[in-house]
């Protein structure tokens, strides 16, 4: 049976947030939609979604529109609807604990300081699902974490972050084409 895979990019809806650090997950899905000519337009599971055949697999791409801190509501609805194992859920998000420009791919893990991931783990009652973390750190000393993640990416960091977003999109493609281990071996920490 060809089972669905869910690829969820985290962020906050609306133009006000579109180019903030916290919207890395949304931006990675935008890159993928441009590369593979699909649109995240259908509203389903409290998210903008696209259901496509991607490298021979049935994939739901989703950008939860619940705002970051309630991402778990949206993702839980999709996971329940498709009745997928959590190994078939891939979440992409920003991480203040990773240097800007770097990505980390993991098969599972804690939420760390990320409220969107905390919401997902709480709603799924598990942290046993793969994720791609896009580095946005370190946190500047003179600004609190919320202010930092909700600020627009400054001009001098845009290219570094843009390159990392493209690496994260490459990782999604590699995971869907081949597997998680190959993506981790090739792309972790670069």
* Tens digits of residue pLDDT in 84-126: 999 999 999 999 999 999 999 999 999 988 999 999 999 999 9
- Give the percent of the chain with pLDDT over 90: 78
Give the pair of three-digit tokens for residue 71. Answer: 């991402």
In this prediction, residue 55 has a pLDDT band, given cuts at 50, 70 and 90, of: confident
Mean pLDDT of 69-97: 96
In this prediction, residue 57 has a pLDDT band, given cuts at 50, 70 and 90, of: very high
**Domains in the chain and their CATH numbers?**
5-187 (3.40.50.1470)
- Among residues 49, 54, 39, the alpha carbon closest in space to that of 77 is found at 49
- Give the percent of the chain with pLDDT over 70: 98
Mean pLDDT of 172-186: 91
| pLDDT tens figures, 19-36 | 999 999 999 999 999 999
Residue 1 has pLDDT above 50, yes or no: no
Q: How far is 97 from 114, CA to CA, in rounded Å?
A: 10
Q: Give pLDDT, residue 2.
A: 65
Mean pLDDT of 41-49: 96
Q: Give pLDDT, residue 143.
A: 84
Q: How far is 131 from 139, CA to CA, in rounded Å?
A: 21
Residue 123 is among the residues annotated as catalytic for this protein: no
Q: Could you tell me the sign of the dihedral formed by the alpha carbons of 18, 22, 24, 30, in that order?
A: negative
What is the Cα Rg of the chain in Å? 15
């Amino acid at each position: 049976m060809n089972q669905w895979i869910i690829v969820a990019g985290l962020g906050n809806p609306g133009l006000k947030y579109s180019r903030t650090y916290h919207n890395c997950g949304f931006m990675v899905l935008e890159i993928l939609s441009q590369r593979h000519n699909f649109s995240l337009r259908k509203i389903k599971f409290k998210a903008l979604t696209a259901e496509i055949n991607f490298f021979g697999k049935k994939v739901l791409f989703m950008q939860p529109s619940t705002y970051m801190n309630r991402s778990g509501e949206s993702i839980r609805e999709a996971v329940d609807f498709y009745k997928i194992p959590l190994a078939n859920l891939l979440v992409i998000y920003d991480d203040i604990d990773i240097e800007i420009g770097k990505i980390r791919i993991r098969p599972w893990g804690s939420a760390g300081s990320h409220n969107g991931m905390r919401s997902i783990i709480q709603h799924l009652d598990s942290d046993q699902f793969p994720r791609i973390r896009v580095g946005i750190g370190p946190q500047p000393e003179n600004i609190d974490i919320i202010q930092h993640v909700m600020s627009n990416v400054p001009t001098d960091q845009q290219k570094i972050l843009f390159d990392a977003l493209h690496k994260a999109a490459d990782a999604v493609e590699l995971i869907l084409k081949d597997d998680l281990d190959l993506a981790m071996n090739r792309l972790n920490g670069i």
